[in-house]
Amino acid sequence: MVRRPKRNKRDGKVVKRPPLSREEIEEKERQKEDRELRKKELLESQKQNENFIKSCFSVSPAYWGIDNCVVSILSPKVTYDPNVFDEQIFKDTASIDYNSQGELIKITIQSVDLGKVTISLKEVGYRKRYIAIQLNGPSPNFQTTGIEGIKLRLKEVLHKLERDYKIKTKYNPNSVRFKKIELAFTIAFDKLPSLQTRQLLISSLAEEEKNIDLKNHRTSKNTDKFSMVSIEINKKEKHIFYNKIEKAKKNKQVRKTNSSLKNLEVFRYEIELTSSRIAEQLYSHYLAQLTDEMIIQYLEILISDGVFRYIEIIIDATIKCEKMLKKIYKKSNPQFYTTELLLFIHDQLSNTTVSDLIDEDIIAFLPIGFLKTNKGETKRRILKRFQYQEVNTGTKHELGKMTSWLVLEIIRVMFHSLEESKKYGLGTRRKPSTTFYKTFPLKTYSLEKRNKIFNETITENTKEKLEDKMLKRILKRFRDGIKI
């Protein structure tokens, strides 16, 4: 085994490298064996993680729970052995800070096993001693828990501190409070929800109308591959809806190719509350006072408000489209205004990710107030024009995917999952020994089924205000589901 000749860049001559020594050859072989072993271990770990992820959905395709959080223990009594500061575990995972007088003031530990633990030992003015602990769930992070599970995580971290770092902590259980808490809804879809679906969902559930931030876990020109959408309501509350599988792939926790999760699209809707926002929304930020029931009550209000915000979005879209159609009708030839409308929507979808006309259902609700007669037939003609491509090729127009219906069904599942949490508590229920899993199917609505529902809406000729009519009909759908 010899090295390849190397060409000298200056004069173009080939410079022969000396042959590898026996020691170099053996070292290269060892490195190769180590790489193969690490690769094999990683593959085995990824397979185990994939089975664990599937088991999280063995009982239900969706669940609410607490994800990661940070708690602070106020005024703890901390004892430690300074003789262990020179041990390898401290060198690898801890940093120790002293003040100018040589007094120990802070120990910071960061490890995969513990997460991050900050122990502040010095009282300065109003600032008391504290321990801030990041309480992460098990890896891969698909399993959530309830309040009792958070208490157990805290005990485990304090036990590891005493066992591995010889740091003992005594504290009043009533002095533990949340600095950050992530309330998470985790759902397994049978296919990837469109970006429009995810944007409408987060717009409905977020408290205020804010700009949606789009992020990606991987490079892709396909807008549906934007794996994360988020809205920051304020500095203390943030809503995030993201693809858990893509994040796990990025972290090399599951296989990117040949994965057993190829028919599973796991998403998490996360509400991140920090600081005083926790007490404002949950009525307490103390671990001893908070219960699953208090969190469920907050989430019920959030979802209920979300339903009415969703209805407002649909009504606003209908009013916008009515104005847009009226404007196009007045400017265009009456024979071609539906084509002009279609072109306008195409332009919107090519420049943005969401159209004013969310989907075909909006057309069925249009009052068509600028016409005196044939309003029902006009709406049917518009629908027929939008569905022309699907009739002839079988390929749906973007508005035929029924984004609004899918979002309403997802919100219904969120509400149903809260009812399950009332019975069994927050967190994941799983059967560890099985690889069988359940998914929530994202329905595909055929032309026949869609038009049947549209005709029911169109023929329901009432004198009610548009807003009242839509409110009643959509609330009925939320209660009963989309009947097809």
The answer on 325 and 273 residing in a single domain is: no
Condensed to tens digits (0 to 9), the pLDDT of residues 406-418 reads: 999 999 999 999 9
The answer on 465 and 344 residing in a single domain is: yes
Q: What is the mean pLDDT of residues 378-391?
A: 90
Of the candidates 312, 406, 393, which has an alpha carbon nearest to the alpha carbon of residue 359?
A: 406
Condensed to tens digits (0 to 9), the pLDDT of residues 236-285 reads: 999 999 999 999 999 999 999 999 998 899 999 999 999 999 999 999 99
The answer on 247 and 356 residing in a single domain is: no
pLDDT of residue 319: 94
Q: Sorting pLDDT into bands at 50, 70 and 90, what band is 112?
A: confident
pLDDT of residue 484: 67
Q: Is residue 319 part of a domain?
A: yes
Domain finish residue from 239, 258, 290:
290
The answer on 151 and 90 residing in a single domain is: yes
pLDDT of residue 434: 84
Question: In one letter, which amino acid is 240?
Answer: I
pLDDT reading at 1 higher than 50: no
Q: Is residue 415 part of a domain?
A: yes
The answer on 281 and 313 residing in a single domain is: no
Total domains in the fold of the chain: 2
pLDDT of residue 23: 84
pLDDT of residue 482: 86
Q: What is the mean pLDDT of residues 376-388?
A: 90
Q: Is residue 322 part of a domain?
A: yes
Condensed to tens digits (0 to 9), the pLDDT of residues 286-326 reads: 999 999 999 999 999 999 999 999 999 999 999 999 998 88
Q: Is residue 23 part of a domain?
A: no
Q: Sorting pLDDT into bands at 50, 70 and 90, what band is 357?
A: confident
Q: What is the mean pLDDT of residues 46-58?
A: 95
pLDDT of residue 151: 98
Domain finish residue from 256, 290, 324:
290
pLDDT of residue 354: 65
pLDDT reading at 330 higher than 90: no
Q: Is residue 460 part of a domain?
A: yes
Q: Is residue 379 part of a domain?
A: yes
Domain finish residue from 261, 290, 319:
290
Q: Sorting pLDDT into bands at 50, 70 and 90, what band is 219?
A: very low
The answer on 317 and 224 residing in a single domain is: no
pLDDT reading at 221 higher than 90: no
The answer on 444 and 332 residing in a single domain is: yes
pLDDT reading at 109 higher than 50: yes
Least confident of 267-276, 347-356, 424-433: 347-356
Whether the model pTM is above 0.85: yes
Q: Which residue has the higher pLDDT, 413 or 462?
A: 413
pLDDT of residue 344: 78
Least confident of 14-23, 83-92, 162-171: 14-23
| CA 51 to chain centroid | 21
The answer on 371 and 452 residing in a single domain is: yes
Q: Which residue has the higher pLDDT, 22 or 212?
A: 22
pLDDT reading at 432 higher than 60: yes
Q: Is residue 34 part of a domain?
A: no
Least confident of 188-197, 200-209, 399-408, 464-473: 200-209
The answer on 258 and 332 residing in a single domain is: no
The answer on 318 and 208 residing in a single domain is: no
Q: Sorting pLDDT into bands at 50, 70 and 90, what band is 328?
A: confident
Q: Which domain holds residue 160?
A: 66-290
The answer on 358 and 263 residing in a single domain is: no
Average pLDDT, the chain: 89
Q: Is residue 61 part of a domain?
A: no
Contact 440, 62 (CB under 8 A): yes
The answer on 285 and 350 residing in a single domain is: no
pLDDT reading at 349 higher than 90: no
Question: In one letter, which amino acid is 473?
Answer: R
